[in-house]
Amino acid sequence: EVSLYTPLPSTSGHSHLFPLVSIIMGSDSDLPVMRAAAEVLSALSVPFELTIVSAHRTPDRMVQFAKSARGRGIRVIIAGAGGAAHLPGMVAALTTLPVIGVPVKGSTLDGVDSLHSIVQMPRGIPVATVAINNALNGGLLAARILGTGIPEIGDRVEAYMLQQKCEVERKIDNLMT
Ligand code: RP5
């Protein structure tokens, strides 16, 4: 079953490692958005897998994926979906792992429909929701969660933040000169 979730070679630099994060999305049309989560996890050397799981087109696969994720060693799930966007909530209902939802902007309603679907989870089943199309923050949040138990990942998140700070300081210096 693990082979179902083999990382895409083009987006994962860590296919040889056991994935700690699973990035899933409802459709390949979500990939241009969800790629940012994969890229930041790569940059932070966090092993991940990436695949398509559709709540309504492949419901059996979704159940199988969500129920097996923890046993396969996955620690955090990032789930991106557009439209009605029930994927993150359904997955969260089927696992005890933390689930981060990424609302994907569709061609209509500007992704607000997806945001509301994901953020308005009824009590009892939480989904941590990032901003519309902000898969980068989804990846960073997953790294922060892992960083609480894996100091090396926490240190890399800290270095990432320092790098951001230096970039802003460089821009400020450029404005002054
Ligand atoms: C959802 O429906 C996907 O997450 C995607 O954002 C949206 C449209 O999917 P496609 O019709 O492009 O496959 O399942």
The residue ranges of every structural domain in the chain are: 2-176
147 lines ligand 1 (CB under 6 A): no
Model confidence pTM above 0.80: yes
Check residue 12 and give its pLDDT. 45
Sheet with strand 48-52: strands edge to edge = 48-52, 21-25, 76-82, 99-104, 128-129
CA angle 7, 12, 16 (to 5 degrees): 70
DSSP state of 5: G
| For ligand 1, atom 14: residue with the closest CA | 26
Of the candidates 92, 91, 132, 89, the residue with the CA atom closest to the CA atom of residue 113: 132
Atom of ligand 1 nearest to the CA of 106: 6
Atom of ligand 1 nearest to the CA of 28: 13
Instruction: Tell me yes or no: is domain 2-176 CATH 2.60.120.380.
Output: no
88 lines ligand 1 (CB under 6 A): no
Share of the chain above pLDDT 70, in %: 90
- 97 within 8 A of 69, measured Cβ to Cβ: yes
58 lines ligand 1 (CB under 6 A): no
User: Model confidence over 111-149: pLDDT tens digits?
Assistant: 999 999 999 999 999 999 999 999 999 999 999 999 999
DSSP string, 20-76: SEEEEES-GGGHHHHHHHHHHHHHTT--EEEEE--TTTSHHHHHHHHHHHTTTT--E
